[in-house]
Amino acid sequence: MIFWRVKSLDAILATAEKKSLHRSLGVWQLTLLGVGAIIGTGIFVLTAEAAQKAGPGMMIAFVIAGFVCAVAALCYSELSSMVPVSGSAYTYSYAVLGELIAWMVGWALILEYSVAAGAVAVGWSGYFVGLLNNASLGFEIPYVLANGPFAGGIINLPAVVICLLVVGLLIIGTRESAMFNAILVAVKIIALTAFIALALPATDMNHFDPFLPLGTSGVVAAAASIFFAYVGFDAVSTAAEETKDPQRNLPIALISSLLLCTLFYLLVSAGVIGAVGAQPLVDAAGEGLAPGSREMAAQCKSLAAAGQQPVVCSHEALAHVLREIGWEKIGNLLGLAAFLALPSVILMMLFGQTRIFFVMSRDGLLPEVLSRIHPRFKTPYIVTLVTGVGVMAAAAFLPVGKLANISNSGTLFAFLVVALTVMILRVRDKNRPRPFRTPMIWLVGPLAIGGCLILFLFLPMDAKLVFPVWTGIGLIFYFLYGYRRSHVLLGIDTPSGGENLIEPIRSLADGSDETEVKVK
């Protein structure tokens, strides 16, 4: 039965050892990788969407989303310390739930990383356009060329351009060093710290009333969307094969990066609410307008024509807040920080996806051609091009909120499977060494599963529908290709044609020219 075509943990570890990636990342580099992947469009842009859904109650939404990620991170930590190889949730589920579920998880992770990269590109576009508008350069991108159809435009051209540039960098081979990545993370942290220091003193407590303008359902709906602000911590586990002492360093990096980002998010959301207010726009019946909808875009245009721009209408929420409270130059600098730093998040999202592609190809479930390397640049150019086209299409025509929600649907499924996998392994393989044990697993595991289910149910309907459609497409591909070519079915531990499956993508977190691949 294909559902239980399982690749054992011992076989997974043996496969990784025969063709493994060079271990060069320490706990500090991993934590920076996590913070760099987490802090991005979620806090710089989706703050406006959270405010539209929950008003000041978005602070609770950040706590809810952070809690669900925290319990999922504890489950990730146990698995990543037990199975320190690339592949993240895909690899874990292959060892416990079987090949079919593993394929579905890997396919969901492809959706997560691809659409997340598109969402970050749209968020970057908002800050880029804002910088141009406030720089007095006499040049302004027309509205129809800076927004997709859902926002009343034609195409988001800046988002397409930044995707094209990042894809080009990945193909020719980036030389991201530990120092460069640390600088980009520092830029984002300094920008958020400056925002907190300037916005909190301007707090007007009246802005917190009403605290729940759209009720508790609005808070949970905001949590389902703002969950995207935490997506990225699992990218740490995709670098497991490149981690020194992974049993110790992976869990520390996962939890540390998540806690650090949660603290920033709460302080930033308090600053936004206190400084300028965060009440949602409503229709004639008093119902909140859907973020990213044509109706909301029309009402925002009307308010802008009247000289008003509430934070829920802004495409660059944090920079907008600082300008509103008299810190225009600092607001522009914050916009510049987002402009400089967000492309690195796109790079990391695509980096994470290529790791998933690599491991799925190594297991024979995806064609080897997808991992074929460029003869000159020594990078997996075909998979990068295929991914890039999809990311550019999404960024060109969809608003950031819709992209984030679609990405969340795949992420929540993957997190749910990870929590389930940990609990099954506790029963089935109780004697296997666990350098990190999830505390109170029979409480934490069900909380993670329940939290993921609840947040999924509160996603917008279109995001919930995309996931089963995407899964259906993936299952068709699996039964047409992967089912018959699976290395587990064929009884091979490592793929043939070794060179074509090598992934010498330049590491985003170490200083080497390229990731070393050992073929024994």
- DSSP secondary structure letters along 23-39: --B-HHHHHHHHHHHHS
* pLDDT confidence of residue 496: 38
Q: What is the DSSP letter of 278?
A: -
Residue ranges of domains in the chain: 2-282+310-501
* pLDDT confidence of residue 469: 92
Cα gap 53→248, rounded to integer Å: 39
User: What Rg do the C-alpha atoms of the chain give, in angstroms?
Assistant: 22
The stretch 293-306 carries a mean pLDDT of 84
Most distant pair of Cα atoms in the chain: their distance:
69
* pLDDT confidence of residue 200: 93
* Cis omega (within 30 of 0) for bond into 210: yes
Contact 46, 229 (CB under 8 A): yes
Share of the chain above pLDDT 90, in %: 15
* pLDDT confidence of residue 429: 81
| pTM for this prediction | 0.80
* pLDDT confidence of residue 448: 94
**Average pLDDT for the chain:** 79
Q: What is the DSSP letter of 482?
A: I
Is residue 17 very low, low, confident or very high in pLDDT (cuts 50, 70, 90)? low
The stretch 143-165 carries a mean pLDDT of 87
Is residue 515 very low, low, confident or very high in pLDDT (cuts 50, 70, 90)? very low
* pLDDT confidence of residue 362: 75
Q: How many helices (H) and strands (E) does the chain have?
A: 22, 0
Q: Is pLDDT larger for residue 100 or for residue 510?
A: 100
* pLDDT confidence of residue 516: 36
Of the listed ranges 112-126, 182-196, 367-381, the one predicted with least confidence: 367-381
Q: What is the token pair recorded at 325?
A: 């409270």
With H, G, I as helix, E, B as strand and everything else as coil, classify residue 243.
strand
Contact 40, 343 (CB under 8 A): no
Share of the chain above pLDDT 70, in %: 82
Cross-strand partners of 282: 288
Cα gap 407→384, rounded to integer Å: 19
Instruction: Examine the pLDDT at 2 and tell me if it is beyond 70.
Output: no
* pLDDT confidence of residue 7: 64
Instruction: Examine the pLDDT at 461 and tell me if it is beyond 50.
Output: yes
* pLDDT confidence of residue 173: 66
Of the listed ranges 111-120, 173-182, 273-282, 289-298, the one predicted with least confidence: 173-182
The stretch 119-129 carries a mean pLDDT of 86
Q: Is pLDDT larger for residue 84 or for residue 469?
A: 469
Is residue 387 very low, low, confident or very high in pLDDT (cuts 50, 70, 90)? confident
Cα gap 441→353, rounded to integer Å: 29
End-to-end CA distance of the chain: 32
Instruction: Examine the pLDDT at 41 and tell me if it is beyond 80.
Output: no
**Who's near 380: CB < 8 A, 6+ residues apart?**
354, 357, 358, 370, 371, 372, 373, 374, 503, 504, 505
**Who's near 149: CB < 8 A, 6+ residues apart?**
397
Contact 257, 31 (CB under 8 A): yes
Q: Is pLDDT larger for residue 18 or for residue 262?
A: 262
Contact 202, 274 (CB under 8 A): yes
Instruction: Examine the pLDDT at 177 and tell me if it is beyond 70.
Output: no
Alpha helices for 97-177 (secondary structure H): 99-134, 143-146, 157-172
Q: Which CATH superfamily is domain 2-282+310-501 in?
A: Amino acid/polyamine transporter I (1.20.1740.10)
Instruction: Examine the pLDDT at 10 and tell me if it is beyond 90.
Output: no
Contact 481, 118 (CB under 8 A): no
State the angle between helix axes of 47-54 and 215-226 in degrees (0 to 180), rounded to the nearest 10.
Answer: 160
Cross-strand partners of 243: 25
The stretch 92-114 carries a mean pLDDT of 83
Of the listed ranges 9-18, 153-162, 463-472, 479-488, the one predicted with least confidence: 9-18
For 24-59, give one letter per residue: b (16+ CB within 10 A) or e.
Answer: bbbbebbbbbbbbbbbbbbbbbbbbbbbbbbbbbbb
Sign of CA dihedral 459, 464, 470, 471: positive
SS (H, E, C) 359-400: HHHHCCCCCHHHHCCCCCCCCCHHHHHHHHHHHHHHHHHCCH
Cα angle 257-511-179, degrees, rounded to a multiple of 5? 55
Cα angle 452-455-456, degrees, rounded to a multiple of 5? 80
Instruction: Examine the pLDDT at 121 and tell me if it is beyond 80.
Output: yes
User: How far is the CA of 112 from the CAs of 19, 226, 340, 459, in angstroms?
Assistant: 26, 14, 23, 15
The stretch 114-119 carries a mean pLDDT of 86
Q: What is the token pair recorded at 422?
A: 């940990």
Cα gap 447→192, rounded to integer Å: 30
Instruction: Examine the pLDDT at 498 and tell me if it is beyond 60.
Output: no
The stretch 317-334 carries a mean pLDDT of 88
